Amino acid sequence: MTSDHRAQVEELLADYRRSRDQLASVQRDLASITASVTSPDGTVTATVGSGGVLIGLELADNAYRAHRPDRLAELVLRTTEAAAAKAAERTYRTLAPVLPADTDPAALVRGTADLKPEEIAPPPPAPRRPAPEDEDFGLRDSWLDDMRGTR
């Protein structure tokens, strides 16, 4: 191997190591992303981690008195969704500097970065097969009779 080739290989290896170190740094940054949001009335605080996974939920002492159960559940969901959106924004900002200029970080995270809408549309539902004839249970007194051997 000539010295020119050796220098090229060394440069390629150095580039690879820099890229790998940068990737490891971005992965650490992504894994450490968290976001918290508190509901407007202060009764619910949701904290999500990377990927929008709920990792903490705090309910104020008066949350159960302030809201009916169905309303409280709805408030928890809305607050968690807001925290997930906040975490997603942080994810996009973390990814943007390491992506090519024309790459949408949100589309990349969704897994749709280079796909057209028709490529990600759900497949049409399979045609329904006719249901098999149901067994006529009306002729039996009870399935329990079969179990007891009375029939």
pLDDT, tens digit, 9 for 90 and up, residues 46-74: 999 988 899 999 999 999 999 999 999 99
Average pLDDT (3-29) is: 87
The token pair that represents 58 in the structure block? 């705090």
Contact 105, 99 (CB under 8 A): yes
Q: Give the mean pLDDT of the chain.
A: 85
Q: Could you report the per-residue pLDDT of 70-102, keeping only the tens digit for each?
A: 999 999 999 999 999 999 999 999 988 888 888
What pTM was estimated for this model as a whole? 0.66
Query: What's the pLDDT score for residue 1?
Result: 64
Task: Name the residue among 90, 75, 77, 78 with its Cα closest to residue 35.
Answer: 90
Edge-first strand order for the sheet with 35-38 is 35-38, 44-48, 54-59
Average pLDDT (107-111) is: 82
Cα 89 from Cα 86, distance rounded (Å): 5
